[in-house]
Amino acid sequence: MEQIPQRQPTRSVKVKNTVIGGGSRIKIQSMTTARVTDDDICGELAALKAEGCDIVRVAVNDVADALAIKSRDFLGMPVVADIHFDYKLALLAIENGADKVRVNPSNLGARENFVKVIHCARAHHVPIRIGANCGSVHDAVNVGQSVSDSLKEYVGVCENEGFYDIVLSVKSSSVLQTIELNREVSRIFDYPLHLGVTEAGTLSGGSIKNAIGIGALLADGIGDTIRVSLSAAPYEEVACAKRILRALDLYGGVKIVSCPTCGRKKADVIALASELERATSSINADITIAVMGCEVNGPGEAKQADLGVAGAVGGGAVLFEKGKLIKKLTKEEIIPELLKYIDSYSK
Ligand code: SF4
């Protein structure tokens, strides 16, 4: 029997109208490739919203970006200002409506600069994601120690100021290092953790790296919000994040299982499963659908599915529910009929 991972308890941190941690649903984040000042961002934001992005991050390079946050419509998604080096941009972004800021305190200069960001965030009820970077250290043992020590120091600064609206993250492009470091961080802190494998690569290769890195941690019950980092359109990051979460039963929606096909196949499973995945990606029904190649083995192999089709002689399929045959379908009826059944499950 499948087990939903037991989540490690963390504090809850409010980001505008949503919550990270505290046992809440794991939130999906992405980052726009367009600048806040660039109107191309509108298309990216619409696609992210449609795909189910919970929280969107934008790069704040300069004063113009920070000021533009105020007038940009983020379609209801909380917006995170990503700051490097200039703490004044963090202050300006918060004052202009950023719902959260992401900083690496080690690149903000003097300690009092970070403290000024904390004071500003507290005044505006805005949380801070504190990132620790291990990119420049190559010794795995020392990296772990150095990252933990850095985070302890930064968290200590926040706590000394009475500020607890903190989300933590550890940045590594190595899958194994990502897993090890986050396990270590989760043993030390009870602040929510932001997971991701950075610079993971392309849609295909990067998805696998993220699925392993993020997935292994989620299976351990670690992680409160995730960002799948891909060299692809931002909405693809959200689609991949949903697949990772669904694979672990941590996200609702239609789950598709399909066979790899073999010489017994009587239906084009590859085309059917892909079409069904596209058609159901945003449908809010907790249901598992099987797409199987033949009626000889298909219904039996997929009896755990709520609903399924298996290819039949002549190019059509049989429709089955919990392994029990319901009716025969022509090739053209397969997708519409499945969607009709899925619709009845979502009511
Ligand atoms: S369900 Fe049928 S077609 Fe698919 S892998 Fe099994 S035997 Fe082959």
pLDDT averaged over consecutive 10-residue blocks of the chain (347 residues)? 76 97 97 97 97 97 98 98 96 98 94 97 98 63 80 96 97 90 95 94 94 97 97 96 93 91 94 93 87 88 89 92 90 94 80
pLDDT at 1: 44
Do the Cβ atoms of 266 and 80 come closer than 8 Å?
no
User: Are 159 and 303 found together in one domain?
Assistant: no
pLDDT at 137: 47
pLDDT at 233: 96
User: Are 93 and 143 found together in one domain?
Assistant: yes
Show the domain range for 243.
12-247
User: Are 173 and 306 found together in one domain?
Assistant: no
User: Are 92 and 174 found together in one domain?
Assistant: yes
Give the other-Cβ count within 10 Å of 63's Cβ. 14
Do the Cβ atoms of 244 and 211 come closer than 8 Å?
yes
Do the Cβ atoms of 84 and 71 come closer than 8 Å?
no
Question: Structural domain tally of the chain?
Answer: 2
Sign of the dihedral defined by the CA atoms of residues 14, 109, 158, 135, in that order: positive
pLDDT at 40: 95
Q: Which of 297, 303, 309 to mutate to test the pocket of ligand 1 (most atoms within 8 A of CB)?
A: 297
262 lines ligand 1 (CB under 6 A): yes
Q: Which of 270, 294, 295 to mutate to test the pocket of ligand 1 (most atoms within 8 A of CB)?
A: 294
Q: Which of 270, 292, 303, 318 to mutate to test the pocket of ligand 1 (most atoms within 8 A of CB)?
A: 292
User: Are 184 and 63 found together in one domain?
Assistant: yes
In a domain, 4, yes or no: no
78 lines ligand 1 (CB under 6 A): no
Question: Any residues with CB less than 8 A from the CB of 36 and at least 6 apart, and which?
Answer: 58, 59, 60, 65, 68, 69, 72
User: Are 24 and 87 found together in one domain?
Assistant: yes
User: Are 25 and 122 found together in one domain?
Assistant: yes
Question: Any residues with CB less than 8 A from the CB of 3 and at least 6 apart, and which?
Answer: none
273 lines ligand 1 (CB under 6 A): no
Residue bearing tokens 């806040």: 36
Domain harbouring 264, CATH code: 3.30.413.10
User: Are 206 and 284 found together in one domain?
Assistant: no
Domain harbouring 33, CATH code: 3.20.20.20
User: Are 21 and 40 found together in one domain?
Assistant: yes
> Rounded CA gap, 107 and 104, in Å?
6
Q: Tell me, in angstroms, the distance from the centre of ligand 1 to residue 266's CA.
A: 9
pLDDT at 347: 64
> Rounded CA gap, 68 and 266, in Å?
56
pLDDT at 89: 98
> Rounded CA gap, 256 and 160, in Å?
49
In a domain, 190, yes or no: yes
> Rounded CA gap, 264 and 232, in Å?
36
DSSP class per residue in 257-273 = EE----TT--S-HHHHH
Do the Cβ atoms of 248 and 218 come closer than 8 Å?
yes
Question: Any residues with CB less than 8 A from the CB of 129 and at least 6 apart, and which?
Answer: 80, 100, 101, 102, 103, 166, 167, 168, 169, 194
Domain termination residue (choose one: 187, 216, 247): 247
Among residues 268, 241, 270, which one has the least CA distance to residue 256? Answer: 270
Q: Which of 296, 303, 309, 318 to mutate to test the pocket of ligand 1 (most atoms within 8 A of CB)?
A: 296
Domain termination residue (choose one: 198, 214, 247): 247
98 lines ligand 1 (CB under 6 A): no
**How distant is the alpha carbon of residue 8 from its chain centre?**
18
DSSP class per residue in 129-179 = EEEEE-TT---HHHHHHHHHHHHHHHHHHHHHTT---EEEEEE-S-HHHHH
User: Are 21 and 145 found together in one domain?
Assistant: yes
In a domain, 56, yes or no: yes
**From atom 1 of ligand 1, which residue's Cα is the shortest distance away?**
298
Q: Determine the atom of ligand 1 nearest the C-alpha atom of 262.
A: 8
pLDDT at 18: 97
Q: Tell me, in angstroms, the distance from the centre of ligand 1 to residue 257's CA.
A: 12
pLDDT at 294: 93
Tell me the C-alpha to C-alpha distance, in Å, between residue 41 and each of 16, 37, 74, 94, 121: 20, 8, 9, 20, 25
pTM of the complete model: 0.90
Domain termination residue (choose one: 247, 276, 300): 247
265 lines ligand 1 (CB under 6 A): yes
Do the Cβ atoms of 31 and 37 come closer than 8 Å?
no
| Residue 270, CA atoms < 13 Å, CB-side half-sphere | 3
Q: Determine the atom of ligand 1 nearest the C-alpha atom of 302.
A: 1
Q: Tell me, in angstroms, the distance from the centre of ligand 1 to residue 111's CA.
A: 62
pLDDT at 141: 61
